[in-house]
């Protein structure tokens, strides 16, 4: 078995894959490595390729840092679906839902920092997302950190209920993730 690379390993892998492309001098691959915990070599190769495609589509001969940021975002959240037509009411629901996640992430000790909030649909079924990225590689999580993660997940649902007096089906994935964390806390870690 090969373990997932740590920060130093991810940066080295990125450098290997980036050797075949042209980078703007300001590109910092260590920043890209920091923003990709849990990624394996194939994921990192895909990010370099996607960044190169983004640069070409923008008419540039060199990859800039923003290309890498967008490539990571695409890898984590999926393809943007700018053409999906969403009603103003649904946009409001999604906006308050994602704001709930972001507010609680910012106020909860142990929660990963928010990098971006979007109400542009991405991936399969997601009408919006709050992108959180850890600041370092982590190999352990405390009960408090797991609870913080659940707080952030449930905050979107809570925001909907506070603002609109009811919840939408948009919270279903958050409930599934929260349930999974709760189950693992009990079965895998013996926490209650």
Q: Which residues are catalytic?
A: 98
Beta pairing partners, 114: 132
CA 67 to chain centre: 16
**Between the CA of residue 168 and those of 86, 109, 183, what are the distances in Å?**
14, 27, 24
Q: Are 71 and 50 contacting, i.e. CB atoms less than 8 angstroms apart?
A: yes
DSSP string spanning 40-97? -HHHHHHHHHHHHHHHHHTT-SSB-HHHHHHHHHHHHH--B-TT----HHHHHHHHHH
Cα separation, 100 vs 115, whole angstroms: 15
Q: 3-state class of 166 per DSSP?
A: coil
């Amino acid at each position: 078995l090969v373990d997932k690379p740590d920060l130093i390993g991810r940066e080295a892998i990125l450098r290997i894959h980036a050797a075949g492309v042209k980078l703007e001098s300001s590109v910092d691959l260590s920043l890209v490595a920091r923003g990709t915990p849990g990624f394996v070599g194939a994921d990192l190769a895909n990010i370099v390729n996607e960044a190169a495609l983004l640069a070409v589509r923008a008419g540039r001969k060199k990859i800039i840092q923003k290309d890498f940021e967008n490539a990571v975002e695409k890898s984590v959240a999926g393809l943007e679906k700018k053409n999906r037509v969403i009603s103003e009411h649904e946009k409001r629901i999604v906006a308050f839902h994602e704001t709930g996640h972001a507010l609680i992430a910012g106020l909860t000790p142990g929660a990963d920092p928010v990098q971006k909030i979007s109400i542009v649909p991405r991936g399969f079924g997601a009408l919006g997302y709050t992108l959180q990225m850890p600041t370092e590689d982590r190999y352990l999580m405390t009960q408090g950190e797991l609870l913080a993660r659940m707080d952030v997940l449930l905050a979107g649902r809570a925001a909907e209920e506070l603002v609109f007096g009811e919840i939408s089906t948009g919270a279903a994935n958050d409930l599934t993730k929260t349930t999974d964390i709760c189950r693992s806390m009990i079965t895998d870690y013996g926490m209650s």
